[in-house]
Amino acid sequence: MSKRIVRVTRDQVQSAKALIELRGGEDKVDPDIVLIANAKRLSPAEIAALETA
Amino acid sequence: MTGEVLAAGFAFAGAAVGAALTYAATRRDILARVTESRQDLSQREGQGRREEWGRRFTAALDDVASEDFRRRELGRVVLVALSTSSLATPEDRDLADAVLSAGARIDAEGDRTIIVPAGISVDDVVVVEDDGDDEEGSSR
C-alpha cells in the first residue's frame, strides 16, 4: 500500500520546532506538530518513489 | 542652691532626651525615604525592562511575518526566548504559542495542513519538507 505523502514547508517545520521548544518538549504538543517538526528532507526522486511504493 | 542644680540637671536631661528623640525620628525618616527611593528606582527599572521586552516582542512578531526566511527564523528564535523570559505574562506566552502553532499548521497557501486524516494510520503517513523550487527555503 502506498504511503500518504504530506508536504509541509520549511517554515512549518521551523514553527513546529519553535513551538516544541516553547512548550518544553515533544510530549507537550499535539502529535501532528511532532510529525511536522520531524518532517523528512527528501529529494524529489525519493518522494516520487515513496508515492509509487 | 540644691534646687537650682536639680533644675539645671533636669533641664539638661530633658534637652538630651529631646535631642535623642529628634535624632531617632530624623534617622527613621531618612531611612524610610531611602527605602522608598530604592523601591521607586527598582519599580522604574522593572517598568523599563518590561517596556524594552515589549518592543522586542513586537519586533519579533513583525519578523515572523517577514517575506525573508532568515528574518522569519530569527523572529521565531527571539519569540521563544522572550516568551520563556520571566518578564513574559501568561497572555504573552499564549500569543506566541498561537502564532507558532498557526505557523506550523498553515501552509504557504494559507490552508490548514491535515497530517493524519481520520481513518488513516500514522504509520501510513510520511511528512516531507518540500518548498518546491524555492531556493530560499531549501537552503540551510
CA-wise closest residue to A21 among A29, A30, A31:
A29
Q: Which of A9, A15, A23 is the closest to B76 by Cβ?
A: A15
Domain that holds residue B87: 2-114
Per the CB < 8 Å rule, is A10 touching B105? no
pLDDT at B140: 38
Per the CB < 8 Å rule, is B128 touching A5? yes
For residue B68, is pLDDT > 80? yes
Residue B32 domain flag: yes
Per the CB < 8 Å rule, is B101 touching A12? no
Residue B85 domain flag: yes
What is the tally of structural domains in chain B? 1
Mean of pLDDT values over B42-63: 94
What cell numbers appear for B10 in the block?
533636669
Mean of pLDDT values over B89-94: 96
CA distance A23 to A15: 12
Tens of pLDDT, residue by residue over B93-135, are 999 999 999 999 999 888 998 888 888 888 888 999 987 654 4
Which of A25-34, B32-41, B117-126 bottoms out in mean pLDDT, i.e. has the lowest?
B117-126
